[in-house]
Amino acid sequence: MVNTKVTLCGLPLDNPLIPASGTFGYGQEFAQLFDINLLGTFSFKGTTAQPRFGNPTPRIAETPGGMLNSVGLQNPGVDAVLTHELPELAKIFHKPVMANVCGSTVEEYALVAEKLAPCPQIGWLEVNISCPNVHSGGLAFGTSPEIAAQVTRAVKAVAGDKPVIMKLSPNVTDITAIARACAEAGADGLSLINTLMGMRLDLKRRRPILANTTGGLSGGAVFPIALRMVWQVYEAVRLPIIGMGGVSSARDVIEMMLAGATAVGIGAANLTNPYICKEIREDLPQVMDELGISSLEEIIGGAHHG
C-alpha cells in the first residue's frame, strides 16, 4: 500500500493534488462531475477587494501545446466570497481550501488577506504577486524582489496563524532572487510558476487575437520551464513549494516532486479535461508502484540527492 499523504506548511493533505487558482472556480461546477474531496485541496479564484468584471473579450486564445488567457482577475470581491461562495463551498468540500489573494496595491493585498484570514474554512493564503502594481506603472509585484518582499511582509502582518504562500511570476530574469526576498520577508511557502507572457495574432485581421493584446501562457508547453524553476527555487530556499505549470499526468506530479515540490498544482489541464484531477488521483498509486515509490513525502527534492 502506497502513501500519497504530504504536509504543506504544517497542514496535512491526503495527496499533493491542488487545482490551480482560476481553473477550478469555487469548486461548484467540478463537484457536479466528481467528489472534489478526493483532492488534497484547491486554490479558489483570485480575489480582490472589490468585484472585478475582468478584461474585455476575447480573453482566450489557443496555442500549440497550451493556451493564452487574459481573464483579468474576474471575481465577485472578497466580501461576496465570504458571505456567499465559502458558505456554499462548505456544503460540498469538507477540507481546508486555499485562498488566492490579489491586489493592485500593497494595501489591497493586506486588506483582502486580513478579511480572509479569520475564516475557518481557509487553510492557506496564496498571494498572487503576478498582479500589476498600479503604483509602478503596471509592473507586476513579482518582478521586483523589494516589492515582492513588501507584499509578503504586509500579508504576514495580518495573516494570523494562516500560512502565507507567495505565488511567483516566471516573467523574471532570476526567479531565485524573488524567492529569497519572499523567504527573508517571512513567507511560509512558495507557489510556482504562474503563466508566462505571450500573444497570438489573427492573420486575417492583422491584429492580436486577445483584446488585451497579451496574455498568460499555460499548458503542456510550459512544463519544462516550470520544472526548471521549481528545481532552482528548491536549491535557493528552504520553504515548501507548490509546483505547477503544464502538469497533466501522475508522472508529471512525481517529476515535479522529485524537482522539489511538496504539492503540485494542476491548471490548464482542468479546462481541457474536467476529470483530469480525478484521473491523476486514480493513476498515482499505480505509477508509484511502477517506480518503486512507497511514500510521496519521501521523494520531495529527491532528484537533488543523486
Q: Which of 163, 159, 181 is nearest to 172 (CA)?
A: 181
SS3 237: coil
Q: How many CB atoms lie within 10 A of CB 77?
A: 14
Please give the full DSSP string across 155-171, using - where no structure is assigned.
HHTT-TTS-EEEEPPS-
Please give the full DSSP string across 74-109, using - where no structure is assigned.
-B--HHHIIIIIHHHHHTT--S-EEEEE--SSHHHH
Q: At which residue does the C-alpha cell 456554499 appear? A: 88
Q: What is the DSSP letter of 193?
A: -
Q: At which residue does the C-alpha cell 528552504 appear? A: 238
Please tell me the distance from the alpha carbon of residue 51 to that of residue 20, in angstroms, as a whole number.
20
Q: What are the catalytic residues? A: 131
